[in-house]
Chains A and B, each alone.
Chain A
Amino acid sequence: MSDSGHHITPFKTYIIVYGVLLCFTVLTVVVAPSVTGVERNLMNTLLAMGIATVKASLVILWFMHQKYENNFNRIVFGAGFFFLIVLVFFSALDIFSRYNMINEFGK
């Protein structure tokens, strides 16, 4: 971006993003087991996390102006999520390869 100024997101865009965020909040509530009383399972956890990720993406792209960031800052911020995935993956690998041991221990 040049010295002449920084990108200005139009007012209307902010309002639309906000509206969509509210719609997804309603959606995540109306499909939730705590609200509807459906059985809790992995599917509705994944659904809720999927909706949360869509909402998070909207916030990152438009409210945090990541859509207009340079690639260097994208990589910097993206690195956070990359290492989070590394943390999840190896922790899960470790814990669930000992899952039977934990179950035995709990009995």
Chain B
Amino acid sequence: MKNNRFIIFAGLLAIIAFVFYFTTNVDQVEDKETKMKVAFVYLTNPGDHGWTYAHEVGRQQVQEHFGDKVETSYVENVPEGPDATRVIRELAQNGNDMIFTTSFGYMEPTLKVAKEFPNIKFDHITGYMRAENMATGNIRFYEGRYVQGVVAGLTTKSNKIGYVAAFPIPEVIQGINSFAQGLKSVNKNATISVVWANTWYDPVKEGDAAKVLIAEGADVLAQHTDSPAMLQTAEKAGVYGFGQSSDMHEFAPNAQLFASVNNWGPYYIAQIQKAMDDSWTTGEGPDHWAGNTWKGLSEDFLVLTDFKNMPSNVAKAAQEARDGIANGSINIFSGPMMDNEGNQILASGEVLDDGGLWAMNYYVDGVIGKIPN
């Protein structure tokens, strides 16, 4: 029996080692003399075909751009919280020169480790806390939502838009409100029903939410979750939808009107180049959510895929909205603007500043229901 126990123990250890090797795969490379070492921390795995996938594309662009000058590595499936601190610290100890942490929840772990390693550059994505050696970068995702709203408003027949959202945080609410502003600019009768999935990633639940919204009469769907399940459901039911984070037309060739694609590559390349030139800074200004780099359509941080499955006049309106936002002639949140309970948010002529964007805790007119607290 004792022999057996040893075998069991060894077997279990082998399984655990095997699994850990494949679930948290840290590439380690020795020579740090010539190469700059850059590490990325991912929330899920590039296989989500959404948020993390977009970061992975960015990392590959970095590798392609710099070639031998930069050595990149990544750790996937890192839970937000104490585990993140451990992983980031490990990456710092392994001789990385620069570490990108690519989810909001890594903010405090990144800050903690940044203070321990003053010589390493940290770049946190979508947060608002900064330090001497910790910068923040973000994309104006909501700009793409406005264009989605315009297309949805011109496409819908039932005037009911379904919106599958993850969590009621300012970034998601910005997206819903921006969508509503675009929708109302072309169609005053359409309304948005929001379903909170309470998860970033659960394909079945996202699909269920889409089915429910279609059953309730929605004929154009938008999502702020990570998987392509919503679009697949739309495809099957013969309604329309928008891709999120990455192009999803393979999943829904007839349903995807267009996708807003997060284009992290240029940001990563610029930041790494600055680090090489010793011009990398963590920015000036207040510690608000905007971060020191917050760009959108104008700088191609956010890219829209081709407008498909819509008549040419709709595609034209979409292109105009896109260009208007990019060149600044359209200001998405400008007065007069009311919330959906009839309170005035902006008077005529007023516009919302970045601080106001991050303080959104209301739905604008056109969205049904209340934000869960």
Chains A and B come from one and the same complex: no
